Structure 1
Amino acid sequence: MKKSLPLIRHFSPLTLFLYGTYKEDGTPNFGLFSWLNYCFDKETGVIACIGGEKLTKERICANKVFSANLVTEELLPLADYFGNISGYKKDKMCVPVETEKGQVLDVPILTKSPWAYELEVERSIELNGSEVFICKVRNVLSDESIYDEPQDVEKWMNIIRPIQSVRQSYFKWNGTTAGSFGEPMKKILNNLNESEK
């Protein structure tokens, strides 16, 4: 028998993406987001929702393009850092991170993300407290390790090892915990503190 619960106790595993934009000065900026899904309007597209006021949202509204880089177990400390440090903080991007330019759009791509979308906003819908972006997928970038077909999906997933989030916690592909929000980034912060000494 099922029981009704208040929404605050929701259980909805979400895949994480780092959205990449360029600041006005041309430096890359990444923010961590999970409200991403797919739609179809003559072709497969992406729906992304961003709540609150964030630099990433501001830059998407200004340029109408961004990248969505899949977060993996390897990328989690960096992703957690990008998700917890405000894009408005001047030295947010003063961390060791490899980026490259998109191959179709002028968007930053995380080199270590095995799967990334180059997205162009077709239209947006402002809501009370968030904004929904309906996007055309202009390019999909994949590491060669997962591009070589035919591989079955199980092999792909075990190579990629995407991270999921549920209720302020991260989970590895095998279902084990990878820490609460704010924990994995301590590795990045410790490295930054060591380099300042």
Structure 2
Amino acid sequence: MKKSLGALTPAMPLPVWVIGSYGGDGAPCLMTAAWCGVCCSEPPCVAVAVRNSRLTHANIAARGAFTVNISSERYAAETDYCGLVSGRDTDKFAATGLTAVGSELVDAPYIEEFPLVLECSVQKTVELGSHTLFIGRVVDAKADTAVLGENGMPDMARVKPLACSPADRNYYAVGRLLGGTYSLGRGLTGKKTDDNNKERG
């Protein structure tokens, strides 16, 4: 028996990203976001929804670029702080001790200390209401070598990313490994799956 909760968005878990952008004065700015995710593989694109009143909204609209900075458990407090104060009156890099690095590929800064970064150029904007959805094409993904697995790609156990639960407004660490994608459910269908399929959706 399910209980109706109304027209809400308690989907879980959500990623925790810190969005990097430049202000009109060229100052680097950060904003924590959870309304975000991967939305296309060819070309590689991600989307982030930003409230119209936020400084980051104006920054991305003006510069046509942003970075996605994927945090880790080590920087949970710094990540949360970037969503608590406004860049209009606070230098979040100075306050957190994080280091701004100017991207050479897009007009936006990224965070040196975070293990995984996506540099994005805006491909499309969609006005939704309280938020604007910025769809960014990933120009490059950068990762610390320490978080790369044997296949040369980021290893979740090494990145230790944060997850967000909007229903209880808490951060969570990623849990235990359950099994491989496109393999865990094979026993249910009895059918051979496509090993070449690398994505969901």
- Does structure 1 conserve the Cα–Cα contact (< 8 Å) formed by 2:93 and 2:99? no
Are 1:164 and 2:163 matched, yes or no?
A: yes
Shift of residue 4 of structure 1?
3.5
Shift of residue 11 of structure 1?
4.2
Q: Which is further off, 115-124 or 141-150? A: 141-150
Are 1:19 and 2:19 matched, yes or no?
A: yes
The aligned residue for residue 150 of structure 2 is 149
Residues 30 and 137 of structure 1: CA distance in aligned 2, closer, same or farther (over 3 Å): same
- Does structure 1 conserve the Cα–Cα contact (< 8 Å) formed by 2:30 and 2:92? no
Q: What is the SS of the residue equivalent to 2:146?
A: helix
Q: Which is further off, 138-147 or 40-49? A: 40-49
Residues 61 and 2 of structure 1: CA distance in aligned 2, closer, same or farther (over 3 Å): same
Cα distance in 2 for residues equivalent to 1:141 and 1:102: 11
> Which deviations, in whole Å up to 9, do the C-alpha atoms of 1:106-155 show, x marking residues without a partner?
321111111110011011011211101121111101111123532687xx
Question: Amino acid of the residue matched to residue 55 of structure 1?
Answer: L
- Does structure 1 conserve the Cα–Cα contact (< 8 Å) formed by 2:65 and 2:121? yes
> Which deviations, in whole Å up to 9, do the C-alpha atoms of 1:41-83 show, x marking residues without a partner?
7422112111241011110000000100002111111111110
Query: Counterparts of 1:29-178 in structure 2 under 5 Å?
Result: 29-40=29-40, 42-95=42-95, 96-147=97-148, 149-150=150-151, 156-167=155-166, 168-174=169-175
Q: Which is further off, 42-51 or 119-128? A: 42-51
- Does structure 1 conserve the Cα–Cα contact (< 8 Å) formed by 2:110 and 2:117? yes
Residues 90 and 171 of structure 1: CA distance in aligned 2, closer, same or farther (over 3 Å): closer
Question: Amino acid of the residue matched to residue 144 of structure 1?
Answer: T
Question: Amino acid of the residue matched to residue 119 of structure 1?
Answer: C
- Does structure 1 conserve the Cα–Cα contact (< 8 Å) formed by 2:64 and 2:107? no
> Which deviations, in whole Å up to 9, do the C-alpha atoms of 1:17-55 show, x marking residues without a partner?
100011222221100001112223742211211124101
Residues 4 and 75 of structure 1: CA distance in aligned 2, closer, same or farther (over 3 Å): same
Judging by fraction of residues, say which structure has more helix: 1
Residues 152 and 125 of structure 1: CA distance in aligned 2, closer, same or farther (over 3 Å): closer
Cα distance in 1 for residues equivalent to 2:153 and 2:9: 35
Cα distance in 1 for residues equivalent to 2:157 and 2:129: 39
- Give the superposed CA RMSD: 2.2
Shift of residue 94 of structure 1?
2.9
Bigger-Rg structure (1/2): 2
- Does structure 1 conserve the Cα–Cα contact (< 8 Å) formed by 2:29 and 2:91? no
Q: What is the SS of the residue equivalent to 1:40?
A: strand
Cα distance in 2 for residues equivalent to 1:163 and 1:66: 20
Task: Calculate the TM-score normalised by the size of structure 2.
Answer: 0.77
> Which deviations, in whole Å up to 9, do the C-alpha atoms of 1:87-109 show, x marking residues without a partner?
21144443211121223223211
Residues 92 and 162 of structure 1: CA distance in aligned 2, closer, same or farther (over 3 Å): closer
Q: What is the SS of the residue equivalent to 2:118?
A: strand
Cα distance in 1 for residues equivalent to 2:9 and 2:39: 27
